[in-house]
Structure 1
Amino acid sequence: MVDIATRVWNHKWKIDPIVRSLIDTDFYKLLMCQSVFHNRRDAQVTFSLINRTKSIRLAELIDEAELREHLDYIRSLSLTRGESTWLRGNTFYGKRQMFRPDFMEWLEHLQLPDYHLEKRDGQYELTFEGPWPAVMLWEIPALTVLMELRGRAVLNRMEKFELQVLYARAMTRVWEKVDRLRKVPGLRIADFGTRRRHSFLWQDWCVQALIEGLGETFIGTSNCLIAMRREVEAIGTNAHELPMVYAALADTDAELAQAPYQVLADWHQEHEGNLRIILPDTFGTGGFLQHAPDWLAGWTGIRIDSGDPAEAAERAIAWWIERGEDPREKLIIFSDGLDVDDILSLYAQFAGRCRPSFGWGTLLTNDFRGLVPGDALAPFSLVCKAVSANGRPTVKLSDNPNKSMGPPEEIARYKRVFGVGAQTPIDVLV
């Protein structure tokens, strides 16, 4: 096992690449990328870094030259032979050759497109523009670089024994969480912590802790590189990016209203009926379920990623019952800012009423709260989102208005088209 404190200490002397592989990314990005490659590859999309936690002034913490050095290194990466073999030949979700030959040939020759970086008001403006399949693969590495460089800026001020004690405390915290979870039979927990992790080494350590501590309760990781190296399941389906871009490409209000369902129709065809998990909250869960075609009710389950998770699960259960489905056979994946108390509470409420599962993210792989003075390693809310497609702005409404994004006039239009009324704001930690 890597001595993380010593490795962090050595960051001071030379570049230690934060992203070492193109598959150091979330599995759902590759699944979505293949769908986009086959369905909307000509769309020109812009992604932009968005720091929701304005109090953390990244451009004052992170050296621009160092940031560029890491971004340029990522642009030099391409798939290794071993990585390509794993993607081509491995079984994912019980299916061999999840990734088709034409997509794999394109991916094997891919190097990420250029980026644009500026400083403004204490923040970095980092954008990526190009064909959707290529530019979308910047999202996760961009986030992991910014998150880790922010951490390194704090850690570089610490001496070696301070680092040893810090990581000992953080490891103890993770193991105490694991110990609470391992006492509950029937739990299903996956690591969803790539995008806002403390570091790659730390995420890898956390996954090893879950493998040993949780046994069959741990069902896999979203991180492809870790899944390959640790021989665990790669977990993931799709994200808000798909309906956001499809909606931006719609020419009329009628096409806009159908965009979220067109995404899932294309997804169903792409994956031949596998990976049938609905993410309904991009433009409001209520309207999505109300107008959803009947064939979606037969899908495997729903992922809940905003709003009150218990209310959203109750709404999903009621929807399935109304559509003649048995919710006890349906999967509900909770994935919004979870920690142990949330997981245990939601499992107690919904076990037996559905098949609850949990994507444990930032508060697994980046919970250093209270471990350094000034809480300078506390996690914060950093995202990298598609902000335009073919020159049109994207919109996300969410079930939490604090997560919404887009120009005000477009937000108003989307609320009208999707029938979104008053929403209750919920603080966004991560």
Structure 2
Amino acid sequence: MVDIATRVWNHKWKIDPIVRSLIDTDFYKLLMCQSVFHNKPDVTVSFSLINRSKTIRLAEMIDEGELREQLDHVRSLRLTRGESTWLRGNMFYGKRQMFRPDFMEWFENLQLPPYHLEKRDGQYELTFEGSWPEVMLWEIPALAVLMELRGRAVLKDMGRFELQVLYARAMTKLWEKVERLRGIEGLRIADFGTRRRHSFLWQDWCVQAMLEGLGGAFTGTSNCLIARNRDLEAVGTNAHELPMVYAALAEDDAALARAPYDVLSDWHAEHEGNLRIILPDTYGTEGFLDRAPDWLTQWTGIRIDSGDPAAGAEAAIRWWQSRGEDPMTKLVIFSDGLDVENIVALHRQFAGRVKVSFGWGTNLTNDFRGLVPDGGLDAFSLVCKAVSANGRPTVKLSDNPEKAMGPADEIARYKRVFGVGEQVRREVLV
């Protein structure tokens, strides 16, 4: 097992680049990328870094030269022969050749496109623009780089013993969470923590701790590199990016209303009926389910990623029942802001009514709350989102208006088209 504190103390850039591989990313990104590669390869998309936690002034903490060095390193990465062999030949979700030969040939020759970086009002403005399949793969490494550089800035003045104690306390904190989760009968939980992790080495340690502590209840990791290295399941399906871009490309209100379902139609064709998890909250869960075509009721389950998680699960259960489906045969995946307390509560509320699973993110791979003065290592809400497609702005409404994004006039239009009324605001912490 890696001595993380010693590696931080003796930090060598060549040993520990923040992003080590093009597959040091979330599995759903590669699945979505293949779908985009086949369905929308010529769309030009812009991504932008968005720091929702304005009090964390990243440009005043992170050296611009260091940031550029890490981003340039990401651009130097290429898929290795071993990584390509794993993607081409491994079985994912019971299916071989999840990634098709034409996509793999393209991926094997990929270099991520250039980035644009500026400082403004204590923050970094980091943007990426290019063909959608290429530029979308910047999202996860960009977030990982910014999150880890912020952590390194806090840790750089700590002594060797101070670092040892810090990581010992963090390990104890996580292990206490694992011990609490051990008592949940029928638990199914996966690591979803790549995008806002403390560091690669720490995420890898957390995954090993979950595997040893929870055994079969730990179902895998979204991080492809860790899944490959640790012989684990790579898990994930799709994200808000797909409906946001499809919606931005819509020519009129009728096409806009169809866009979220066009996404899932293309997804179904791409994956031949596999990976059938619905993410319904991009433009409001209730409206999405009310207008959903009957063929979607046959899908495996729903991921709850904003708003009140219990309310979202209850809405899913009502929808399945109203369409003549048995909720006990369906899967609900909770993935928004999870920690032990709400994992325990949600499992207690819904186990026995639906199949329940959890995608545990930031509070698994970046919970250093209370371990350094003034919350210096507390996780914060940093995202990298598609902000335009073919020059048109993207919009996200979400079940939590605190997560909404887009120009005000377009948000108003989308609310009208999708019938979104008053919403309950929930503080976004991570």
Q: Same fold (TM over 0.5)?
A: yes
Change (3 A) 1:6 1:321: same
Cα distance in 2, alignment partners of residues 329 and 16 from structure 1: 44
Aligned-partner SS, 2:54: coil
Cα distance in 1, alignment partners of residues 4 and 242 from structure 2: 36
CA deviations 1:102-123 (Å, max 9, x no partner) are 0000000001000000000000
CA deviations 1:20-55 (Å, max 9, x no partner) are 100000000000000000000100000000000000
Cα distance in 2, alignment partners of residues 183 and 84 from structure 1: 39
- Which amino acid is the alignment partner of residue 340 of structure 2? V
- Which amino acid is the alignment partner of residue 65 of structure 1? G
Cα distance in 1, alignment partners of residues 181 and 175 from structure 2: 10
**In the alignment, does 2:397 pair up with 1:397?**
yes
Q: Is the 8 A contact 1:193 1:362 kept in 2?
A: yes
Alignment coverage as a number of residue pairs:
430
Q: Is the 8 A contact 1:12 1:156 kept in 2?
A: no
Cα distance in 1, alignment partners of residues 389 and 141 from structure 2: 21
**In the alignment, does 2:179 pair up with 1:179?**
yes
**In the alignment, does 2:212 pair up with 1:215?**
no
Q: Is the 8 A contact 1:304 1:313 kept in 2?
A: yes
- Which amino acid is the alignment partner of residue 227 of structure 2? A
Match of 1:110 in 2: 110
Cα distance in 2, alignment partners of residues 14 and 332 from structure 1: 42
Match of 1:154 in 2: 154
Task: Report deviation, 1:164.
Answer: 0.1
Aligned-partner SS, 1:133: helix
Match of 1:297 in 2: 297
Match of 1:261 in 2: 261
Q: Is the 8 A contact 1:128 1:135 kept in 2?
A: yes
Cα distance in 2, alignment partners of residues 40 and 341 from structure 1: 41
Aligned-partner SS, 1:254: helix
CA deviations 1:275-295 (Å, max 9, x no partner) are 000000000001100100000
Task: Report deviation, 1:183.
Answer: 1.3
Specify every segment of 5 or more residues in structure 1 that has no aligned partner in the other structure, as ranges. Answer: none
- Which amino acid is the alignment partner of residue 308 of structure 1? D
CA deviations 1:283-315 (Å, max 9, x no partner) are 000110010000001100000000000000000
- Equivalent residues in 2 for 1:124-273, closer than 5 Å: 124-273=124-273
Cα distance in 2, alignment partners of residues 273 and 6 from structure 1: 47
Cα distance in 1, alignment partners of residues 16 and 202 from structure 2: 14
Aligned-partner SS, 1:186: coil
Change (3 A) 1:13 1:244: closer
Further displaced range: 178-187 or 61-70 = 178-187
Cα distance in 1, alignment partners of residues 113 and 20 from structure 2: 17
Cα distance in 1, alignment partners of residues 245 and 184 from structure 2: 40
Cα distance in 2, alignment partners of residues 29 and 320 from structure 1: 28
Aligned-partner SS, 1:263: helix
Q: Alpha carbon RMSD of aligned pairs, Å?
A: 0.8
Task: Report deviation, 1:184.
Answer: 1.3
Q: Is the 8 A contact 1:334 1:359 kept in 2?
A: yes
Task: Report deviation, 1:13.
Answer: 7.6
Cα distance in 2, alignment partners of residues 326 and 403 from structure 1: 32
Change (3 A) 1:12 1:82: closer
Cα distance in 2, alignment partners of residues 80 and 15 from structure 1: 17
Cα distance in 1, alignment partners of residues 48 and 340 from structure 2: 31
Cα distance in 2, alignment partners of residues 391 and 145 from structure 1: 27
Match of 1:310 in 2: 310
Q: Is the 8 A contact 1:191 1:220 kept in 2?
A: yes
Specify every segment of 5 or more residues in structure 2 that has no aligned partner in the other structure, as ranges. Answer: none
Cα distance in 1, alignment partners of residues 41 and 307 from structure 2: 32
Match of 2:27 in 1: 27
Task: Report deviation, 1:157.
Answer: 1.4
Between the aligned residues of both structures, percent identity stands at 80
Task: Report deviation, 1:12.
Answer: 7.0
Cα distance in 1, alignment partners of residues 95 and 12 from structure 2: 44
Cα distance in 1, alignment partners of residues 195 and 151 from structure 2: 14
- Kindly report structure 1 stretches of 4+ aligned residues shifted beyond 6 Å: 12-15
Cα distance in 2, alignment partners of residues 70 and 396 from structure 1: 30
Task: Report deviation, 1:11.
Answer: 2.3
Cα distance in 2, alignment partners of residues 12 and 163 from structure 1: 16
Task: Report deviation, 1:4.
Answer: 0.1
